[in-house]
């Protein structure tokens, strides 16, 4: 296993967590922000319109409801920039945020700069790190999970009106044929991904080929005439197979961007669970309504 991947990821999340609360301590500058407000902060929200997101303001010790927290005539964003300069960060930190797709590096630059600032100003509290690692790590990863909109709609499918036992049996046989290639995948996809992380470079090529199989399966489902009383489930299943394929296409070396890859894995697991639920729903449909059993 590539130990540097785990060490780097844990280090970044550890620092993210610690600084989040270290700067939320009452330092005689920013007014206290209630716990309820902190819990409701959305990662993309900028309540006071000063250029800093609410979660950033809480992290750096500002009040997200006021653009000039200490009312000294200097807005919070300008004071934040000064903070970066004091901590030793340069303008390249901000430039990296806008010119790179590496989520881990972007966050790490900002967090480590703030960490240094907190140490120099006596705001660092080691115990606080232990309390919020899971919370901040989860929020960071979740914010990067981009669940795509459904690829297919009802207009893309062929519907069978007034379905019968016979039409249900034909549908079942056609669906199995459309998905047959997915059944021929012998190794669990995340096991294959683990082999890639361990150093098997061919494993990533295998994943991309399997991603294509899932995408083609979703496309073949478009051609399957579907009973109208199970059409919604059929559509959702096709979209889940497509979503799974796209998540697999995104899998790459975790050392390039650990946090982003964790978000991709979350997306993979989301669609995997959807496929499991929808497949069971189809089994119940065949068995309960038409007494069709494997």
CA distance 258 to 4: 10
For residues 80 and 120, which has the higher predicted lDDT (pLDDT)?
80
157 alpha-carbon distance from chain centroid? 29
For residues 101 and 230, which has the higher predicted lDDT (pLDDT)?
230
Averaged pLDDT for residues 215-223: 97
Check pLDDT > 80 for residue 10.
Answer: no
CA distance 123 to 212: 51
Distances (CA, A) of 227 to 165, 219, 274: 10, 18, 20
Averaged pLDDT for residues 94-101: 42
Output the DSSP codes for 209-239. HHHHHHHHHHHHHTTS-EEGGGHHHHHHHHH
Averaged pLDDT for residues 53-82: 80
**What's the pLDDT at 288?**
83
**In the numeric block, which tokens belong to residue 168?**
């249900």
**What's the pLDDT at 177?**
96
CA distance 44 to 248: 27
- The answer to whether the CB of 235 falls within 8 A of the CB of 278 is no
> What is the CB neighbour count within 10 angstroms for residue 230?
21
**In the numeric block, which tokens belong to residue 199?**
């150093």
CA distance 196 to 176: 30
Averaged pLDDT for residues 242-270: 89
**What's the pLDDT at 52?**
83
Averaged pLDDT for residues 8-34: 43
**What's the pLDDT at 291?**
74
Q: pLDDT for 146-181, tens place per residue?
A: 677 899 999 999 999 999 988 999 999 999 999 999
Question: What is the average pLDDT score of the chain?
Answer: 75
CA distance 38 to 212: 43
User: Strand pairing partners for 159?
Assistant: 226
Question: Of the ranges 70-79, 88-97, 226-235, which one carries the lowest mean pLDDT score?
Answer: 88-97
Buried/exposed 57-83: b ≥16 CB within 10 Å, e otherwise: bbbbbbbbebbbbbeeeebbbebbbeb
Averaged pLDDT for residues 197-221: 95
**What's the pLDDT at 83?**
67
Q: Give the pTM.
A: 0.59
- The answer to whether the CB of 241 falls within 8 A of the CB of 218 is yes
Check pLDDT > 60 for residue 91.
Answer: no
Strand segments (E) across the chain: 159-160, 226-227
């Amino acid at each position: 296993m590539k130990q540097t991947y785990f060490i780097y990821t844990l280090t970044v999340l550890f620092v993210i967590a610690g600084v989040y609360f270290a700067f939320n301590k009452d330092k005689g500058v920013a007014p206290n922000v209630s716990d309820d407000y902190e819990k409701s902060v959305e990662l993309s929200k900028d309540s006071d319109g000063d250029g800093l997101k609410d979660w950033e303001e809480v992290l750096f010790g500002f009040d997200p409801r006021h653009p000039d927290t200490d009312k000294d005539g200097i807005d919070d964003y300008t004071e934040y920039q000064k903070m970066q300069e004091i901590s030793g960060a340069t303008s390249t930190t901000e430039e990296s945020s806008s010119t790179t797709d590496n989520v881990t590096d972007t966050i790490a630059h900002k967090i480590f700069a703030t960490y240094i600032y907190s140490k120099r100003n006596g705001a660092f509290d080691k115990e606080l790190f232990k309390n919020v690692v899971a919370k901040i790590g989860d929020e960071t990863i979740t914010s990067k999970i981009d669940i795509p909109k459904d690829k297919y709609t009802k207009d893309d499918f062929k519907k069978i009106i007034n379905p019968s036992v016979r039409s249900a049996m034909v549908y079942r046989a056609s669906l199995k044929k459309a998905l047959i290639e997915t059944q021929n995948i012998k190794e669990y996809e995340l096991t294959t991904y683990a082999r890639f992380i361990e150093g098997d470079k061919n494993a990533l090529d295998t994943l991309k080929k399997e991603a294509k199989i899932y995408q083609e399966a979703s496309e073949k489902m478009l051609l399957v005439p579907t009973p109208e009383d199970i059409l919604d489930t059929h559509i959702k299943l096709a979209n889940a197979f497509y979503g799974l394929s796209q998540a697999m296409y995104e899998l790459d070396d975790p050392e390039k961007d650990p946090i982003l890859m964790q978000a991709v894995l979350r997306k993979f697991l989301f669609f995997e669970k959807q496929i499991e639920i929808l497949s069971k729903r189809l089994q119940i449909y065949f068995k309960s309504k038409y007494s069709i059993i494997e």
